[in-house]
Amino acid sequence: MTATARPLDLKTVLLATGVVLTLAMGVRHGFGFWMQPIAQANGWNRETYSLAMALQNLLWGAFGPFAGMVADRWGTMRVVLFGAVAYMGGLVWMATVTQPALFIAGSGVLIGLGLACTAFGAVSGIIGRAAPPEKRSWAFGISGAASSFGQFLLMPVEQTLITQVGWQNALYLLASAVVFLMVPMALRLREPATQKAAGHQQSIREAFAEAAGNRSFLLLVAGYFVCGFQLVFIGVHMPAYLKDKGIADPKVAVMALALIGLFNIFGSYLAGQLGGRLPKRYLLSFIYFARAAVIALFVALPLSPLSVYLFAAAMGVLWLSTVPLTNGIIAGIFGLSHMSMLAGMVFFSHQIGSFLGVWLGGYVFDTRGSYDMVWGISIALGVFAGLANLPINERALARTQLKAA
């Protein structure tokens, strides 16, 4: 960690990480708005852009554990600073590159790396270290609410920018905002030098092996795969889906995605609050079962702007409410020494699901002319994840019982 005498202050950590998450997740959630203008400008089909977004999500997950390792060992500040620069580079790349393979590879690598260094996995460790045990679930809920606020705030901003200044200039402006706002916040995340405890210190390899052999950890991994599949499929393909179904007004899609962000502010905060009082595994199961039910109703009922808004509000409550609960379980079972790395490992599964959800959406539409199959898969996966979370054991491992606080 960085050598400084200043202790961690929970309010400062939540403010700084909140701004970072607001930007990182808010910009990312709006990428669906660029699908049609970029595809049309370059003469691509939807699968090309979908594959770029899929690779971006996959690499976000693949880089996540490594970003977490660096954050746990050398400090969150360095990781966020690096991530801000990579994120900016990825947005500029999206605006300038017109060759399909280069667009897919460059935007995938740069934005995937940027998100890995600025989103939940990278900052979860410093939040866990700053929060006392009794406030930890609440603090994770606050960070989830911040990312949702970014979605609510930036959805209409991004659509307005595309309309007013064009899709390329919109990306340039967002790239500037990422650097000029994230960098000052990252500098507020300096951590004091850590004092090594007496006795054996668990290595990265030992922590990885311990988690990989833990049944409850593997069940969390399975559930997070489903979370990623559902969220990114909906977030990227919702605007195009609505237009295909006859809802041509882009404001409906903008409002829907903004409502998801708005209601998830409350959903994430509530999940964090309830996670400190009720078994987190049961709350996670409820969320996944509820998602399956909400999606099933959405595709079964007649489509209208009102049904879209109701669906968005319901999904918003359930959207990222899995994050504080999942991170809370990880901290409770394994402790905080390798928190960011373990959160990154679980999140890699989330991003494999994201990759498949966003790519499969584009592939199925291009081959079948409809998203119906992917909606059905999303429902079935929700039921699977609800069942998978029920048997999780939240008790701390014997090794971590004295260190979990």
pLDDT-flagged residues of the chain (< 50)? 1-5, 400-405
pLDDT digits (tens, 9 = 90+) for 54-76: 788 788 888 988 888 888 888 88
Q: Looking at domain 10-192+206-398, does it have CATH number 3.30.565.10? A: no
Measured distance CA(21)–CA(26) in Å, rounded: 8
Measured distance CA(140)–CA(124) in Å, rounded: 8
Measured distance CA(61)–CA(343) in Å, rounded: 10
Identify whether the C-beta of residue 49 lies closer than 8 Å to the C-beta of residue 35.
yes
Can you give the pTM of this predicted structure?
A: 0.77
Give the Cα-Cα-Cα angle 160, 104, 376 (nearest 5 degrees): 75
Measured distance CA(329)–CA(192) in Å, rounded: 25
What pLDDT shows up at residue 299?
93
CB within 8 Å of 211: residues ≥ 6 apart? 217, 334, 342, 345
Domain boundaries defined on the chain: 10-192+206-398
What pLDDT shows up at residue 399?
58
Measured distance CA(60)–CA(108) in Å, rounded: 8
What pLDDT shows up at residue 194?
56
What pLDDT shows up at residue 401?
44
What pLDDT shows up at residue 388?
94
Measured distance CA(226)–CA(387) in Å, rounded: 12
CB within 8 Å of 199: residues ≥ 6 apart? none
What pLDDT shows up at residue 262?
85
